[in-house]
Amino acid sequence: MGSKRLPDKATKNLCGQSVIEHIIERLLRVKELDGIVLATTDNSKDDILEDMARKWKIGCFRGPESDVLGRLHGVALQFKADAILRITGDSPLIDLDLVNQVALEFRQRAGEIDFLTTALSLVFPEGCSMEVVSQSLLDRLNEELKNPEERESFMIHISRYPEKFHRYVLGWPKDYSHIRLTLDYPEDFELVKKIYEHFFKIGKRFFSLSEAVKFLDANPALIKINQHYIDKTKYPYNLDDRAVKKAI
């Protein structure tokens, strides 16, 4: 709730429902997930998110705002998860089939990998990537990473040192990295709202990423609404210290 560029973005009204509720409702339809936990901060402004988790009967974990690693590690411990599939709260167009595929791929490669990501294929629209991290790797990182910057941007640390981790990168058939579908600025919300309104108008509540991209391809002017915010100096396109600073 403390976003400075787009205040209260998690609770912004999107076709009659908050952004975070759309994400929860979508994830509840993914068969390969054993449970959903809303991981948020221990700041009082995020009490409303805990209330939403209670409303939707999903788990909730709260921890320090700057310690992303600590929060995810805490989720794994409290809910006895063997792995965490992370979806960020600013991804209202997360694709159900892709989440299912990612979870299934990780299960099938159990014992071979401890990290699976779609981000490093560099083809997904920003706001549609995700990662799976094993509980054993979260244990290891929690012990090894002490610097606050590293704990905040631990995905960059994993990606920067491929020789240290057993990882797998999942791709997509076509490069759509020129499309931005995350929520960080008012223009981002404007685009996401137009996409949602289009599909809700035709009765398609749980539209896919492919359908959203097809709609944007047919309406290229919409892509330009927030395209100027695409920044390829950030993770996952860049893994140096600049990317770390942008992550925090």
pLDDT tens sequence across 97-118: 999 999 999 999 998 999 999 9
Query: pTM of the entire structure?
Result: 0.94
pLDDT at 143 over 80: yes
CA distance 124 to 194: 20
Pairing mode, strands 115-117 and 131-134: antiparallel
Q: Is 24 exposed, middle or buried (0-12, 13-18, 19+ CB in 10 A)?
A: buried
> Is pLDDT of 95 > 90?
yes
Q: In whole angstroms, what is the distance from residue 223 CA to residue 24 CA?
A: 25
- Please give the average per-residue pLDDT across 38-59, as a whole number: 96
Nearest to 185 by CA among 243, 126, 124: 126
Task: Give 240's pLDDT tier (boundaries 50, 70, 90).
Answer: confident
Give the CA angle between residues 34, 36, 40 to the nearest 5°. Answer: 150
Mean pLDDT over all residues of the chain? 95
Residue 120: predicted pLDDT: 95
- Is the model's pLDDT at 246 over the cut of 90? no
φ, ψ for residue 4, nearest 5 deg: -85, -30
Start-to-end CA span in the chain (Å): 16
User: What's the CATH architecture for 9-247?
Assistant: Alpha-Beta Complex (3.90)
pLDDT of residue 243: 86
Neighbouring-strand partners of residue 132: 85, 116
CA–CA separation, 140 vs 115, rounded Å?
12
Residue 79: name the closest of 1, 138, 27, 157 by CA. Answer: 138
* Residue 248 reports pLDDT greater than 80: no
